[in-house]
Chains A and B, each alone.
Chain A
Amino acid sequence: MLQVRDGAGETLGVLFDRYQTPLYNFYAKLTGDRTLSEDLVQEVFLRILKYSRSYQPGTPFRAWIYQIARNARVDHYRKTPKHISLEPEMAPPVKPKDEAQESQEAEMLHRALMQMPEEKREILILSRFQELKYEEIARLLGCELGTVKTRIHRAIQELRHVFRQMESGAAAGAAAPAMPPRRVGS
């Protein structure tokens, strides 16, 4: 039994090593909460262990694992309703010491992302950071390829809008940081 148990652990470990960082980044960028992100990554692997048989061979594996990841997050919020904070909980970790401006831009981008509606933020993260092809995203979100592209474009437009607004706000009154508007509901 021990052998079987170690076998499963070692085997799943291969997947863990491959996917824990991308999944962690998916959650961290989506929720802005590092602790929650690590918890959710663990949950994803627990689910992989439980539901490995639900993977259909021949279909894209990445779409499957991100489907699990999305469900895990939805279930988490179902159990623990989201609390809406005025300030994003997570400060962006980048601080290239010699590039103060880049660091400031990164922080602003992070805040702009966090201020966007969740669906738009999610599709931006999936397409920009998670190595997912549009076809895989379409499969994941259960919509047409064309719809994915339209949504991505709209999300970019909105991100640009929010980001540039923050930027001009910061330039106008450097002392007062821009306050994201309160979002009602989730």
Chain B
Amino acid sequence: MNMSCEQIGELLPDFLQGDLSSSKKGIVEAHLAECANCRDEVAVWQKLALLPMEQPSAESRLRFAAMLHAYQEGRSDRGKAHFELDRVEREPRRVGSPWSFWQWLRTPVGVVAWSAALLLIGLLAGNFYAGRTPHAPASGNQEQIAQMEEELRSTRQLVVLSMLQQQSASERLQGVSYSQREQQLDPQVRVALLHTLRFDGSVDVRLAALDALSKHAAQPQVRTGVLDALQEQQSPLVQVALIDQLVEWRDREAAQQLKNFEQQPNLNPTVKQRAEWAVSKLN
């Protein structure tokens, strides 16, 4: 089938991302074989790979720490925050350094810099506690702490939710492990973890999500969610872990559903055995 360049142009963006069905891909490839102009468009797009991923300077991470500090200090004193940011910005910058921040941290200079930064933070905090900061009256303190705690909670939630969306399994694992830092299970995080438990492509991530959820059996949604996840689970490893969890929770309501579950055809023998054992335990 012959298509005009215009028609091919509509398919080209998906072609470049590898998102076309094989029949459409064939049409585009056939056109490209004959049309030098369209072929050149693809060539230029591919050439963009010559432009590399650049690394920000090593100071970027330090500026970030300083920015955080200035922001938190600055809530009671805006002018000072800007001053500190300005000062940081005027520091000389090592341009294009290939060092990663962590490597830099291990060097003696890095250690000294960090120690100094921590000392500074400590001193400022000490000052604050001693009530010597003129712009932070004691009455505002409680409110400020509450505000900070709320901010921390909301930032953690953001980190968990964003990390669970990452493409790499190790980053998703990091997201799961972050979710465990909060004593309370936030409803949004719970939804995200249960989604991970059911649909994540990696067995490790699913198991980690189960582990994170296991501490929140008091929430009925967690128990139902885990039970639901068992019905859809394909991996025997995760199935067994889910069954064990239900036994650990002594979830009597789960017994009936486990009974139905063990009747499923094509169930892995080990899983079936485990389910039988679980039913006997729970009854």
Contacts and interface: CB of A to CB of B under 8 A. Distances in A.
Contact of B41 (A45, A57, A157): A157
Interface residues of A, number: 68
A77 interface: no
B155 A8 contact: yes
Interface size class of B (residues with CB under 8 A): 35 or more
Contacts of B253: none
A160 B55 CA distance: 27
Contacts of B166: 18
Nearest to A153: B9
B56 A38 contact: yes
Nearest to B126: A2
Given A16-B61, A34-B95, A46-B71, A2 B121 contact: yes
A152 interface: yes
Interface in B1-45: 9-10, 12-14, 17, 40-41, 44-45
A7 interface: yes
Nearest to B6: A153
Nearest to B175: A14
A172 interface: no
B162 A15 contact: yes
Interface in A2-55: 2, 4-5, 7-9, 11-16, 18, 20-21, 24-25, 28-29, 34-35, 37-39, 41-42, 45-46, 48-50, 52-53, 55
A4 B145 contact: yes
Contacts of A1: 125, 128-129, 141, 144-145, 148
Interface string A98-128: 0000100110011001000000000010011
Contact of B13 (A7, A24, A35, A153): A153
B41 A160 contact: yes
Contact of A39 (B41, B89, B167): B89
A9 B72 CA distance: 10
A124 B55 CA distance: 20
B12 A153 contact: yes
B53 interface: yes
B237 interface: no
B165 A61 contact: yes
A49 B70 CA distance: 12
B9 to A, nearest CB: 5
B53 to A, nearest CB: 6
Nearest to A23: B56
A169 interface: no
Interface of B: 9-10, 12-14, 17, 40-41, 44-45, 47-48, 50-57, 60-61, 63-65, 67-69, 71-72, 89, 93, 95-96, 121-122, 125, 128-129, 141, 144-145, 148-149, 151-152, 154-159, 161-163, 165-167, 171, 174, 178, 181, 188, 191-192
